[in-house]
């Protein structure tokens, strides 16, 4: 009976041709969602606890069939994948490289934070929302009862939606996977994408089958907060709609049954809690982001953005990462810069005292007068042929001293070739080479009118 309750909907065979769309499943799907042909049409099943009271109870044979289906995730996924291959052709299964699978407790703010995740990852594909894919009257009724749709339908619908995306950018999938079967199907999808990449790796289609990058994000809130948020959302929607009806202005918002009935709300949370263990299994295979969504929206958003910062070790192919990982990260190269600078200056004073004094005199005589002249602009560029700068160690000392005093310095050296003589017999031009040293120095600007403008 528990198996029947978790499945909640059975698949029955349909005589509808594959070239047609099953009307009961897709009649009310929003326009922006592509319609797909599935081999069967869902129908509602009563909860297991009320089977005997129904006029058309499901037979023991039917229950055993569904039990067999729910246990064999591989069979379910392989059938869905076969339908996809038959529909598109194996060579045309072009999926995005990056997938973010967003899950969360009811009321955790998935819809609120989805746009921020998309911006953080540079994803321009519209998110795939499983709840929108299932906007048929039958499915709505089942969902409103706190139940779910057959895994087979969900998996195939999601695969179709994935293939409807721009494959050159990533995509976010909201509300998948939810069940243990869907979790297993996700692993199999990753394996299939890897298999396709190997198959086409040495062909001209190689770039159309990228190495898949799956990231799992779960927004978590406890049951009491989940219930409070959903009830508050329901009250807000009812108040808004009442105002619209009174004034005749504005647009009515959709009222969710699940936002008004606390029993249904708690049932939804219980289902999330039951599926949570299955989701945790994915943490062993893919980057897994478990985010505490209890706090204020701004605070949760900051956590999400930190979690979804670019991480080359997770996103690059292992060979590519190994080839470049020895190069220090820009964010880390300056971690010990201050201490290293102090150590170098102390070393100059102890070991290279004479050269340090020369560098200080050069700064006093050549650099500081120019800095003073450009004090308001906060930038000065010094070009010089001073032979002292031919010594790279001398340049290092000058830059370190200026850096310690708060200046930002960059250095460049260029050879300037100047014609000095022409051999009239051969036409050969003799050149004199001058080494031009360039110091670019930045420092804080001085705004002389800032205070005056403040009071205008």
Q: Is the peptide bond before 177 cis (omega within 30 degrees of 0)?
A: yes
Give the homologous superfamily in CATH for domain 90-324.
P-loop containing nucleotide triphosphate hydrolases (3.40.50.300)
Q: Are 91 and 208 in contact (CB under 8 A)?
A: no
The token duo for 51 is: 């089977």
What pLDDT shows up at residue 7?
34
Q: What is the pLDDT along the chain (456 residues), one digit of tens a residue?
A: 333 333 333 333 333 333 333 333 333 333 333 334 344 434 333 333 333 333 334 455 555 554 454 468 899 999 999 999 999 999 999 999 999 999 988 888 888 889 888 888 889 999 999 888 888 777 777 767 766 678 888 899 899 999 999 998 899 999 899 888 999 999 999 999 999 999 999 999 988 998 899 999 998 888 888 888 888 888 888 888 888 888 888 888 887 777 777 888 888 888 888 878 888 888 888 888 888 888 888 888 888 888 877 665 566 666 776 787 778 777 777 778 888 999 999 999 999 999 999 999 999 999 999 999 999 999 999 999 999 999 999 999 999 999 999 999 999 999 999 898 998 888 899 998 989 999 999 999 877 765 555 555
Sign of the CA dihedral 331, 332, 333, 336? positive
| Residue among 211, 450, 180 nearest 321 (CA) | 211
What pLDDT shows up at residue 456?
55
Alpha helix ranges (H) inside 318-420: 318-324, 337-351, 353-362, 368-373, 392-404
Q: Report long-range pairs for 237-243 (Cβ below 8 Å, ≥24 apart).
A: none
Give dist(CA 329, CA 347) in Å, integer: 27
The DSSP code sequence of 282-296 is GGGTS-EEEEE--S-
Give dist(CA 279, CA 285) in Å, integer: 11
Residue 40's DSSP bridge partners are 13
User: 3-class SS at 374?
Assistant: coil
The token duo for 260 is: 């008004």
Give dist(CA 171, CA 160) in Å, integer: 13
Radius of gyration, alpha carbons of the chain: 33
Cβ atoms within 10 Å, residue 440: 13
Q: What are the residues whose beta carbons fall under 8 Å from the beta carbon of 229, sequence distance 6 or more?
A: 107, 221
Residue 312's DSSP bridge partners are none
Q: Read off φ and ψ for residue 291, nearest 5 degrees.
A: -115, 125
pTM of the prediction? 0.60
What pLDDT shows up at residue 302?
86
What pLDDT shows up at residue 21?
34
What pLDDT shows up at residue 69?
47
For residues 376, 381, 386, 387, the Cα torsion angle rounded to the nearest 10 degrees is: 140
Q: Read off φ and ψ for residue 229, nearest 5 degrees.
A: -65, -40
CA 112, chain centre distance (Å) = 15
What pLDDT shows up at residue 284?
87
Residue ranges of domains in the chain: 90-324, 337-454
Cβ atoms within 10 Å, residue 398: 23
The token duo for 113 is: 């934070």
| Residue among 182, 142, 151, 178 nearest 264 (CA) | 142
Cβ atoms within 10 Å, residue 408: 14
Q: Are 162 and 95 in contact (CB under 8 A)?
A: yes
Tell me the fold of 337-454: Translation Initiation Factor IF3 (3.30.110)
Distances (CA, A) of 38 to 20, 132, 236: 9, 17, 38
Sign of the CA dihedral 228, 233, 238, 240? positive
Give the residue carrying structure tokens 């708690």: 266
């Amino acid at each position: 009976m528990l198996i029947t309750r978790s499945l909640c909907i059975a698949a029955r065979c349909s005589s509808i041709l594959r070239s047609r769309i099953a009307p009961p499943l897709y009649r009310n799907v929003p326009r922006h969602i592509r319609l797909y042909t599935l081999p069967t049409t869902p129908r509602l099943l009563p909860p297991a606890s009320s089977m005997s009271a129904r006029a058309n109870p499901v037979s023991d044979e039917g229950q055993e069939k569904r039990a067999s289906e729910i246990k064999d995730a591989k069979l379910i996924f392989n059938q869905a994948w076969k339908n996809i291959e038959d529909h598109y052709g194996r060579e045309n299964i072009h999926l995005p490289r990056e997938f973010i699978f967003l899950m969360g407790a009811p009321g955790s703010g998935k819809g609120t934070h989805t746009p921020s995740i998309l911006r953080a990852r540079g994803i321009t594909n519209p998110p795939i929302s499983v709840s929108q894919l299932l906007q048929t009257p039958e499915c709505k009724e089942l969902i409103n009862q706190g139940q779910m749709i057959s895994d087979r339908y969900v998996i195939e619908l999601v695969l179709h939606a994935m293939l409807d995306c721009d494959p050159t950018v990533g995509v976010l999938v909201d509300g998948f996977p939810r069940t243990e079967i869907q979790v297993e199907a996700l692993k199999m999808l990753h394996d299939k994408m890897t298999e396709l990449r190997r198959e086409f790796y040495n062909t001209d289609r190689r770039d159309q089958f990228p190495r898949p990058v799956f990231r799992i994000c779960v927004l978590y809130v406890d049951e009491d907060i989940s219930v409070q948020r959903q009830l508050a959302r329901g009250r807000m929607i009812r108040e808004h709609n009442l105002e619209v009806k009174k004034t005749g202005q504005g647009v009515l918002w959709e009222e969710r049954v699940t936002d008004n009935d606390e029993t249904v709300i708690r049932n939804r949370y219980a289902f999330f809690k039951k599926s949570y263990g299955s989701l945790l299994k994915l943490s062993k295979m893919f980057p897994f982001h478990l985010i505490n969504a209890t706090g204020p929206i701004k605070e949760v958003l900051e956590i999400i953005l930190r979690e979804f910062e670019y991480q080359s070790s997770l996103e690059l192919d292992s060979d590519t990462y190994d080839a470049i990982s020895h190069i220090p990260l820009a964010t880390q190269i300056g971690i010990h810069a201050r201490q290293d600078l102090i150590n170098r200056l102390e070393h100059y004073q102890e070991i290279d005292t004479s050269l340090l004094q020369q560098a200080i005199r050069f700064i006093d005589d050549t650099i500081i007068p120019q800095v003073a002249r450009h004090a308001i602009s906060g930038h000065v560029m010094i070009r010089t042929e001073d032979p002292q700068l031919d010594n790279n160690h001398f340049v290092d000392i000058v830059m370190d001293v200026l850096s310690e005093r708060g200046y930002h310095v960059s250095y460049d050296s260029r050879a300037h070739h100047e014609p000095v003589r022409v051999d009239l017999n051969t036409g050969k031009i003799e050149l004199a080479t001058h080494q031009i040293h360039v110091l670019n120095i930045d420092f804080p600007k001085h705004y002389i009118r800032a205070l005056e403008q403040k009071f205008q």
